[in-house]
Structure 1
Amino acid sequence: MTFTPADLDGTQALLDGPGLGTLSIAAILAESAKRHHDRTALHFMGQQISYGQLWDETRAYAGALRARGVGRGDRVALMIPNVPDFCRAYYAVLSLGAIVVPIHLLFKAEEIEYVLKDSGARLAIVAAPQLAEAIPAAGRAGVPILSVLLPLGAETPVPISRLEVEAQAATPIEFYESVNPLAAGTILYTSGTTGHPKGAVGSHLAMVEQVHASIIDCADMSRDDVVFGGLPFFHAFGQTAVMNTCFRAGAAIVLLPKFDPVEALQLMVATNTTIFAAVPTMFIALLGAASAAGFASPRPKLRYCVSGGSALPVAVLERFQEMFGAVVQEGYGLTETSPVATVNDLDDPRPGTIGKPIWGVDVEIARAFVEGESDPDDSADPDHVEFVPAGELGEIVIRGHNLMKGYLNNPAATEAAMVDGWFHTGDLGTKSDDGVVTIVDRKKDMIVRNGYNVYPSEVEDCIMRHPSVANVAVFGVPDETHGQEVHAAVIARPGATVDCDEIVAFVREHLAAYKFPRVVHVMEAFPIGASGKVLKRELVQEFSA
């Protein structure tokens, strides 16, 4: 037989093409409904929802969306807190082969409008408390709204249909749609500090592989666990490390729509919660609430905790482990990495580090030029990755199955972030000889005082060891003489009084002279985003004045 060029092209397309295999994030819930049909999937407001019930309700929601014409490749926005409806809507959209676009619950109308337009959303599913901002945004974007949690008889500026009502009348889907593993499953918008947020497009493969890598090698989780669900599901951390991972394991999730440390403690005690997954501000708040309640008060019998989102001060980790008797496992990642990239080994934890790369993911340290640093390497080539020796500071770069497909409608941003096949995180860190990564700080958060680099996380870790401090945020304020001046905002522990001069003297005793804060502000609370991070840019704006 003689082969023609066309035959060769066809063979190459077969070898390099997408193939016949399929994969869907929706399988996480669908398959657990088969395997754990009668087991509890969700605890919510004193009720327990089984896996079988949750999947049946999801299939009905999917039937209602299908009746509205939602199908493969359509984008559907979700603006729902951590209630069962988020899970139902999330997996319903995915089961139709459509793409989920979660929206930050604190977004205002203009921000919501931008996400709806940029994502090309065909429909928005919005919880009743978010309708006030979402209705005008959707109207300007020309996107129809379906509500959840809207009481019957409630008045709205425009007529709003209820997804729950349409689901009751719809024919439930029988199977979830098969999609290519590399097809888009989610568009998660990053909370940028300047300009509009960027939509990171995540594939079904990246999201599902995250879950499998976690369950096999990283997370100490089984179907017998009860997991705290206070991390917002619209965020990559809560969506992947809690919702998708728990459902894959067959564990139960305790839903808390809005984090409150006292309510969280009570809820975890009542439900016998075994795993606490949270960002550092939640750990600090829980310590404060438990201390205020007294040692005689009931505490959850946690056996394992997960921290991510930002660096957890070692002092906080040690206090938490002592108070709750549970191991705290730190990890690291970004929205663009689905999100987990590194995790501390439970058998060999290294407090103060972010551990080693997860299976199938490479994490290295590359030479990085930071604008304003005292000795930049002008010979560094921005178009190529140059790795630095073990122990040397540089930018954390990542490659692997966990990477996003790219930024939606923003090829320039995608190209800028990807160099030589490596995603540049914008985080500064080091890597030891045995592969353990330590994050130092965000490039954008680094303070340059008199030409010397000051890393806020290092100063924060020092201040957190002071006995009167419950929480701290260190940031740089523009200064005519020094370029930037080091400021610290602190919150006192319950019953304690903070002496600002004492804090300055404490840091001077432990860190170099150029690092200690020249100004200390005592605050009742920090500005916190919905994902639990301290909004340092707001502190900079407030105290720059």
Structure 2
Amino acid sequence: MATLSVAAILAENARRRPAKTALVEGERRLSFGDAWQAALAQAGALTGLGVRPGDRVALMAPNTTEFPLAYYAVAAAGGVVVPVHLLLSPGEIEHVLKDSGATLLLVHLAQAVAGRAAADALGVRVVTLGAEFDALAAEAEPLTTYATRAADDPAVILYTSGTTGVPKGAVLSHFNLVMNATVCAFDANDVRPDDIALGALPLFHAFGQTVSLNSTWRAGATLVLLPRFDAARAIELMVKENINTFHGVPTMFVALAAAAADADVLPELRVCISGGASLPVVVLERFETAFGARIYEGYGLSETSPTATVNQPDFGTRAGTIGHPLWGVDAEIARAEVEGRIELLPPGELGEVVIRGHNVFSGYLGRPQATAEALVDGWFRTGDLGTKDEQGFLTIVDRKKDVIIRGGYNVYPREVEEVLVRHPGIAQVAVIGLPDELHGEEVCAIVVPAPDGDRDATAVIEWSKEHLGRHKYPRRVEFAEELPLGPSMKVLKRELRTRYAR
């Protein structure tokens, strides 16, 4: 039996570079050696609490030192980490705990009220990260090494944000996560041991967990945590800590490009990765102009560990695309309307993005039907529509379910957003389809105005007419102070559809 553990990522660094700084949070600095010893002590405490290999341990914490240490402690004890989104209500947390079968909740003080309410309702044990967990770790016998796990054993269960109803648990193996971290570090991106990365993406989310935490540490590089993202603060911290690597979602790049004008000094960034949602080309251009750094846009899902494709130096980069598949991964375009089998399409055709490779999850926990619908003929069906050109560059057009069908014509919100965000009076925009008696659906743009932009819906519609096809331009424009964001910083279009349906 081949064995493998995510815990090896930290254990190997402790062996190879024990004195090197692994983690920075405010004034706290931990070397790889110290971080691994702390994780082994916590793993001893978990074992003392009855955690056995294969047991599910829920982890609810912001981007503070407690998260990575507890994450690796659970892995070292042989447990399965169940990260909990910080913005969930007690009822939603209860669903995650119950559905995953978690036997223990490790919760940060900041989330303790909501976490404890959910755990108490189910009779799940709660340990507070910080003083309580540290005391248990101090008394426990530290593990001497990490527990043996089969490569295909579950390592993490990530709950998808539930855009299609109740959140489902995507089961990721040690092999999925170790391979994704390794390939991201050494094949897709040129990550070096002397790099210093900013950990601003939530670590409870797949992108932050694999790309910021596991991939950075896989390369032996340093991670600087930022518990709450604020663009001005992020720039200050990047300068102070000599950070050269930034991983973010489009909303973060928008904020950083705007904040750059007011900053006295800007960091010298070498590697910038964007994912989580489509990055408008104009945002990429503004950021690259302000910081003099290139953004490599990628794509992935919880079910693909998450990285599936990314713009890579080896293949050249192309703005507006998600680049090429990772090493060992295939991404193709299949006929979207065909159910039950995969019918691949030639280059240039629009269809559903399908993925196969070492990054594809084991399935949805306890949901064989949903798993069978998602994993077909050895491919994972993403639900995203896209194209692949002759050079192998992939482009995401939109979510299958976000496509607006107006009068029989398909309108892809992302295409409309790309045009509207170039309007000088628009800072951010989300385009949705709303029910319409005449056309079936109507195109609606929700606009966050620029600081000097006015709120003239008619003017925006008239401008749109000049830049978009007759079936594509928004007939309705609404203004908002901000767009609703989910825990992974994606715009919640389902919330907008509910809010503006009338």
Same fold (TM over 0.5): yes
Q: CA deviation at 1:468?
A: 2.2
1:118 and 1:22 map into 2 onto residues whose CA distance is: 27
Which amino acid is the alignment partner of residue 477 of structure 1? Answer: L
Q: CA deviation at 1:456?
A: 0.6
Which amino acid is the alignment partner of residue 90 of structure 2? Answer: A
Q: Deviations over 1:176-200 (max 9, x none)?
A: 1121111111100000124210000
1:87 and 1:384 map into 2 onto residues whose CA distance is: 40
Which amino acid is the alignment partner of residue 193 of structure 2? Answer: R
2:18 and 2:395 map into 1 onto residues whose CA distance is: 41
Q: What corresponds to 1:341 in structure 2? A: 308
Which amino acid is the alignment partner of residue 412 of structure 1? Answer: Q
Q: CA deviation at 1:501?
A: 2.8
Does residue 240 of structure 2 align to residue 270 of structure 1?
yes
Does residue 353 of structure 2 align to residue 396 of structure 1?
yes
Corresponding residue SS for 1:444: helix
Q: What corresponds to 2:29 in structure 1? A: 48
Does residue 34 of structure 2 align to residue 77 of structure 1?
no
Does residue 73 of structure 2 align to residue 92 of structure 1?
yes
Contact 2:185 2:216 in 1 (8 A): no
Q: What corresponds to 1:254 in structure 2? A: 224
Over aligned residues, Cα RMSD in angstroms?
A: 1.3
Does residue 319 of structure 2 align to residue 351 of structure 1?
yes
1:93 and 1:324 map into 2 onto residues whose CA distance is: 38
Corresponding residue SS for 1:385: coil
Q: CA deviation at 1:256?
A: 1.1
1:519 and 1:252 map into 2 onto residues whose CA distance is: 47
| One of 176, 193, 199 as aligned partner of 1:223 | 193
Contact 2:340 2:373 in 1 (8 A): no
Q: What corresponds to 1:419 in structure 2? A: 376
1:270-289 to structure 2, matched below 5 A, reads: 270-289=240-259
Q: What corresponds to 1:115 in structure 2? A: 96
Contact 1:67 1:170 in 2 (8 A): yes
1:506 and 1:55 map into 2 onto residues whose CA distance is: 57
| C-alpha distance 35-524 of structure 1, shift in aligned 2 (>3 A) | same
Which amino acid is the alignment partner of residue 204 of structure 1? Answer: H
Q: CA deviation at 1:59?
A: 1.0
| One of 267, 279, 283 as aligned partner of 1:300 | 267
Corresponding residue SS for 1:521: strand
Q: Unpaired runs of 5+ in structure 1? A: 1-18, 151-161, 370-379
| One of 471, 491, 494 as aligned partner of 2:451 | 494
Which amino acid is the alignment partner of residue 260 of structure 2? Answer: A
| One of 179, 195, 204 as aligned partner of 1:209 | 179
Contact 1:303 1:325 in 2 (8 A): no
Q: What corresponds to 2:162 in structure 1? A: 192
Which amino acid is the alignment partner of residue 364 of structure 1? Answer: E
Q: What corresponds to 1:374 in structure 2? A: none
1:520 and 1:121 map into 2 onto residues whose CA distance is: 45
**Identity between Structure 1 and Structure 2 (%):** 52
| One of 420, 439, 446 as aligned partner of 1:463 | 420
Q: What corresponds to 1:15 in structure 2? A: none
Which amino acid is the alignment partner of residue 95 of structure 2? Answer: Y
Which amino acid is the alignment partner of residue 467 of structure 1? Answer: P
Q: What corresponds to 1:179 in structure 2? A: 149
Contact 2:185 2:219 in 1 (8 A): yes
Q: CA deviation at 1:280?
A: 0.5
2:295 and 2:27 map into 1 onto residues whose CA distance is: 28
Which amino acid is the alignment partner of residue 237 of structure 1? Answer: F
TM-score (norm 2): 0.97
Q: Deviations over 1:130-155 (max 9, x none)?
A: 111111211121210000146xxxxx
1:182 and 1:126 map into 2 onto residues whose CA distance is: 27
Which amino acid is the alignment partner of residue 428 of structure 1? Answer: L
2:245 and 2:443 map into 1 onto residues whose CA distance is: 37
1:493 and 1:223 map into 2 onto residues whose CA distance is: 40
Contact 1:469 1:498 in 2 (8 A): no
Q: CA deviation at 1:346?
A: 2.0
2:23 and 2:426 map into 1 onto residues whose CA distance is: 36
Contact 1:288 1:494 in 2 (8 A): no
Corresponding residue SS for 2:34: helix
Range 464-473 or range 418-427, more displaced? 464-473
Contact 1:25 1:207 in 2 (8 A): yes
2:361 and 2:273 map into 1 onto residues whose CA distance is: 23
Contact 1:288 1:470 in 2 (8 A): no
Which amino acid is the alignment partner of residue 176 of structure 2? Answer: A
Q: What corresponds to 1:480 in structure 2? A: 437
Q: CA deviation at 1:498?
A: 4.9
Corresponding residue SS for 1:517: coil
Q: What corresponds to 1:322 in structure 2? A: 289
Q: Deviations over 1:419-441 (max 9, x none)?
A: 11111100000011121111000
Q: Which has the greater radius of gyration?
A: 1
Q: Unpaired runs of 5+ in structure 2? A: none
TM-score (norm 1): 0.90
Contact 1:504 1:517 in 2 (8 A): yes
| One of 190, 198, 211 as aligned partner of 1:241 | 211
Corresponding residue SS for 2:285: helix
Which amino acid is the alignment partner of residue 449 of structure 1? Answer: R
Which amino acid is the alignment partner of residue 350 of structure 1? Answer: R
- Across the two proteins, how many residue pairs are aligned to each other? 501
Q: What corresponds to 2:334 in structure 1? A: 366
